Amino acid sequence: MLSTAVGDGLLRANPCTISSAGTPRRGVGRSRPVTDRLLSPAQVSAAAAAMPPRYRGLVLMAAWSGLRQGELLALTRADLDLAASPARVRVRKAVRRADTGQVRVDVPKTPSSVRTVTLPDPLTEATALLFATGTGTTPARSNLGATWRRACATAGVPQVRFHDLRHVAQVFAAEAGATLPELMARLGHVTPAAALVYLHARTDRDTQLTQALATAMTIGGDVLSESDEEPPATG
């Protein structure tokens, strides 16, 4: 409203503007860098296998769809379209915890969070999309977190947060060739800055990129033939 007033010439400046607001900042010293918390595909599979059977699909969905934990826990079978090619999941709801501690299903975090996300083929066989406790209730985040930590320990993979699986989804989607707008659509972000928080350089990618460059340089013959060599200096 105040920005509109500035545009209409009613105010000289917006008094509610906060410098650097909306710019993601990395916490210093509070946790390990995200690049150290990215599980490999093999580690994701191992951790999923170590989870109770009813939660294995949840782990795989978190790592390969990029949905938020609250969005995943609100899914029902009706949200999944297996007949589509590729299969897709519709995000329309999210689980939230009120200040009273009560868990309820509500609208997603932002309007852009209402979206449809396509799924890799292996997920259609591994996901039941009904992530509930043994008694049929919505899992509490604390209990799910404890179950996830035990699974990581059993699988022998790094102890990362369940939320870090969202980073896994974004990084591998980017490496598969997704553009920034496509990544924003998959994760339900409003701004590029929010999406960029989830983009990180994996430590082993530099070697892979260097090898790809070497291959590109040598296609069609030697990188530097005799005719391409610099002439000897004269004078």
**Active-site residue flag, 54:** no
pLDDT of res. 20: 55
Q: Which of 56, 166, 167, 186 is catalytic?
A: 166
- Least confident segment among 40-44, 49-53, 134-138, 188-192: 134-138
- Residues 186 and 167: beta-carbon distance below 8 Å: no
Alpha helices in the chain (DSSP H): 2-7, 41-50, 53-65, 69-73, 121-126, 141-155, 164-175, 180-187, 192-196, 205-218
Q: Which of 37, 56, 68, 88 does the annotation list as catalytic?
A: 68
Q: Is the pTM of this model over 0.75?
A: no
Q: Which of 96, 141, 163, 205 is catalytic?
A: 163
Q: Identify the band that residue 197 occupies on the pLDDT scale cut at 50, 70 and 90.
A: confident
CA 110 to chain centre: 16
* Residue 233 belongs to some domain of the structure: no
Q: Is residue 227 included in any domain, yes or no?
A: no
Question: Any catalytic annotation for residue 167?
Answer: no
| Banded model confidence at residue 180, pLDDT cuts 50, 70, 90 | confident
- Position 234 scores a pLDDT of 57
pLDDT of residue 102: 80
pLDDT tens string 56-82: 999 999 999 999 999 999 998 889 998
Instruction: Answer yes or no: 97 catalytic.
Output: no
Residue 124 included in any domain: yes
For residue 171, what are its two tokens?
Answer: 């990084």
198 noted as active-site residue: yes
Read off the pLDDT band of 227 (50, 70, 90).
Answer: very low
CATH code for position 181: 1.10.443.10
Residue 93 within a domain: yes
Percent over 70 (pLDDT), the chain: 78
Active-site choice (37, 92, 198, 200): 198
Between 33 and 165, name the one with better pLDDT: 165
Helix (H, G, I), strand (E, B) or coil at 91: strand
Phi and psi at 233, nearest 5°, equal: -65, 140
Whether the predicted pLDDT of 3 surpasses 90: no
Cis bond leading into 15, ω under 30°?
no
22 occurs within a structural domain: no
Residue tagged active-site, from 37, 88, 115, 189 = 189
Q: Write out the two tokens for 213.
A: 């460059």
Mean pLDDT of the chain: 80
Write out the residue range of the structural domain in which residue 62 sits: 32-202
Tell me if 82 is assigned to some domain. yes
Q: 148 has which bridge partners?
A: none
How far apart (Å, rounded) are the C-alpha atoms in residues 227 and 229?
6
Flag whether 157 is in a domain.
yes
Banded pLDDT at 233 (limits 50, 70, 90): low
Say how many domains are in the chain.
1
Q: Is residue 100 part of a domain?
A: yes
